[in-house]
Amino acid sequence: MKISTITLLEELKDRTGQHLQYAETLLLKSDNDLNFRMDTDSWSVLECLEHLNRYGTFYIPEISHRISSSKTNSKSDFKPGILGNYFAKSMLPKDKLNKMNTLKAMNPIHSQLNKEVVNEFIKQQEQLLDLLDKASTINLEKTKTAISISKLITLKLGDTFRFVIYHNARHIAQAERVLRNI
């Protein structure tokens, strides 16, 4: 499967813009609503965003570094890698989400959180939008990034963007379900 680089970047910017707008609406919610969990083992809205912030803390500097050090020119099409495509697609929200285990360091359950988590998420979405703009000048296939679970495995930058942004979509859908149950 090949996709136009411009089309891919525009789709990812659109999703990220939606995530940013959603987060801004969360600032209007009460702390009680944002900390509500459906049961003791489920995440609250703030825990969903804190989980994403923890991943963003790794991926945003990694992507930024790879973009700034890339010496490749943009290419008209992007062809996902096998592993990167698998990771990205596994993150897309589905009607019935399959539960996934997360690394202990990335699991925010029972953390004491406030709206600063939302503000950090908003800041990270703004940074992602900036990086997506910058990425239009480089080759999304030849530029590689490390992944959070192993520095030995690298993904094409286009796949890393897809993974991060689809992962955000997954947990925003989870946060929306939590708020519908209040």
Q: What is the pLDDT at residue 97?
A: 61
DSSP three-state, residue 149:
coil
pLDDT in tens, 6-31: 999 999 999 999 999 999 999 999 99
pLDDT of residue 107: 81
pLDDT for 45-65, tens place per residue? 999 999 999 999 999 999 999
151 versus 166: which is more confidently predicted?
A: 166
How high is the pLDDT of residue 101? Answer: 79
Would you give the DSSP letter of residue 175? H
Q: Name which of 151, 131, 137 is nearest 65 in CA terms.
A: 131
Segment 99-147, tens digit of pLDDT: 777 877 788 998 999 999 999 999 999 999 999 999 999 999 999 999 9
> Residue 173 gets which letter from DSSP?
H
pLDDT given for residue 149 in this prediction: 87
Q: Is the pLDDT of residue 98 over 70?
A: no
If you average pLDDT over every residue of the chain, what do you get? 95
pTM score of the predicted model: 0.95
Beta bridge partners of 145: 155
pLDDT at 14: 98
**What percent of the chain stands above pLDDT 70?**
98
Asked if residue 96 has pLDDT above 70, the reply is no
pLDDT digits (tens, 9 = 90+) for 65-82: 999 999 999 999 999 999
Q: Are 88 and 161 in contact (CB under 8 A)?
A: no
Q: What is the H or E stretch that residue 120 is in?
A: helix 116-135
Residues in the chain, overall count: 182
* Helix, strand, coil in percent for the chain, rounding step 5: 60, 10, 30
